[in-house]
Amino acid sequence: MRHGNSTNKTAMYSELLEPVLAKRIGGAVNITGIYYQVLYACWVILRELQNSNATIRLEGIEDIDVNNPIITDKFEYTQLKSSKNRLDAYGFWDLGVLQNYIEVYHKEPRSRFKLVYNMTITDGNLKNLFDGNLNEKSKQYWFEKLNSLSYKGIDYSQFIKAVSFEFASINDITSQILKLLYEEWYVNIGTEGQFLKSLFYNALIWSRDRKEINKNDVVVLFQDITDSFSKAPINEAIKNDWIRPISFSNEEKDYSNYYEGKAALPIHIAQGLPVRRILWERKIESLLNESDSVIIKSSSGQGKSTLAWQTGYNKKDLYDIYQVQYCPDVESANSILQFLQTRLNIGQSPLIIFDGLNSSLKSWNYVVENAANLPVKFIITTRNEDWYRYGSDVSKSNIQFIDINLSKEEARSIYYELQKKEN
């Protein structure tokens, strides 16, 4: 199967997966290491289970245990280590990697072991070990360490040969995953993000449950995703257009609504009509990265809608943008929540915009609060006076506020930019 260059996609999909993990483990301090481990597990699952009777257990004896009866003596145990710090021989021994491996090797000499890492390592004894090129000095150093463990009857030279070391960056792993999705699992270009995110989420759950995974598990998962693409929408929120996808189409050429002074719409952003307000955009995007929801408040005419839609446009390659148009009660809010769950099930990353709080959107906080454990982002715009009417207790939600104002200096800058466009 032919496919495009995936190099530019790797960083994007890595960024997409981080919110999924953050929501599912409660923002653990070691999120980077867990993220690295789960992503690599996805690679192993796709690689090992494509055409075999192999099984994989996550969080078994090691982080990833592979049992492949088709390949002779294929009992491979993989441990992953991720750090921004430089690693030396002393620090590596303190990690207990070889100690764990030799305990298994002592009971089952057919076992093979792999350490996957992404940190830099020091020259000398550690680099020689990782490169499989032990000189006499390095051999003495590591054999003395292993002898201190008091395992009897082990040939340390054979044990060292049973251990391999692999450097793999997050971009390397993501690139290989995309390649496997295209070439071996026949995923269509344009849907790879949904399949990767669904696999990542399930790998996290499988790790928690220490599940033994086989090819059928992946086939069923991927078929469910494929089926979801083709199912007719029956959710009330979709049927009644309470929530709709935003495509930022640039096909319409009628600018009249925008120049009549009405609030900016996605089409106006796609057409590049509003003057960019980069400082405010960056502030909103920064708050959105830190929290589940950003509430943009101001008096009328300060550009709340423009900034909300511009932020959505800026993030359209990372998120699936939706607008909620009707959410006045718990019933409609629950339909919207059910819809969001189906989007997550097929691997989407929703960014939901409530543009202009009013009586038809007064149950917005029910949606936000009940989506707290889901990898969903929200942008809400409101006039100050409407916040007093339709705002609510947000103490249970991870929400950030930003008050927009248009200074004289910024207004002057916008005026000059508009003059340039007219010319």
Say whether pTM exceeds 0.75: no
Gap between the Cα atoms of 386 and 383, Å rounded: 5
- Helix, strand or coil, per DSSP, at residue 74: strand
The H-assigned helical ranges of 291-354 are 304-314, 330-345
pLDDT above 90 covers a percentage of the chain that reads 53
Number of H helices, E strands in the chain: 19, 12
pLDDT at 396: 73
CA distance 92 to 251: 58
The rounded distance, in Å, linking the Cα atoms of 181 and 187 is 5
Q: What is the pLDDT of residues 309-331, one digit of tens each?
A: 999 999 998 899 999 999 999 99
- pLDDT at position 187 is 85
Cβ atoms 88, 117 nearer than 8 A: no
Query: What are the structural domains, with CATH classification, of the chain?
Result: 7-227 (3.40.1350), 236-422 (3.40.50.300)
Compute the mean pLDDT over every residue in the chain, rounded to the nearest whole number: 84
State which H helix or E strand residue 369 sits in.
helix 364-370
* Lookup: tokens for 391: 């705002």
Amino acid at 280: W
Instruction: Quote the distance between the C-alpha of residue 226 and its chain's center.
Output: 20
Task: Return the CA Rg of the chain.
Answer: 26
pLDDT higher than threshold 60 for residue 146: yes
Q: What is the reported pLDDT for 3?
A: 41
Query: Which residue has better confidence, 418 or 320?
Result: 320
Q: Are 44 and 78 in contact (CB under 8 A)?
A: yes
From 300, 362, 303, 291, select the one nearest 333 (Cα to Cα).
362
* Higher per-residue confidence, 231 vs 297: 297
At residue 359 the predicted structure's pLDDT band, cuts being 50, 70 and 90, is very high
Q: How many residues does the chain have?
A: 423
11/5 Cα distance (integer angstroms): 13
pLDDT digits (tens, 9 = 90+) for 246-293: 988 765 555 556 555 567 788 888 888 877 888 899 999 999 998 999
178 contacts 192 by C-beta, under 8 angstroms? yes
Least confident stretch, 15-29, 115-129, 223-237, 345-359:
15-29
Q: CA 22 to CA 372: how far, in whole Å?
A: 11
pLDDT in the model for residue 4 = 42
Angle at 237 between CA 233 and CA 243, to 5 degrees: 105
Region of 96 (left: φ > 0; alpha: ψ -120 to 50; beta: rest) is left
Residue 148: partners with Cβ closer than 8 Å, 6 or more residues away = none
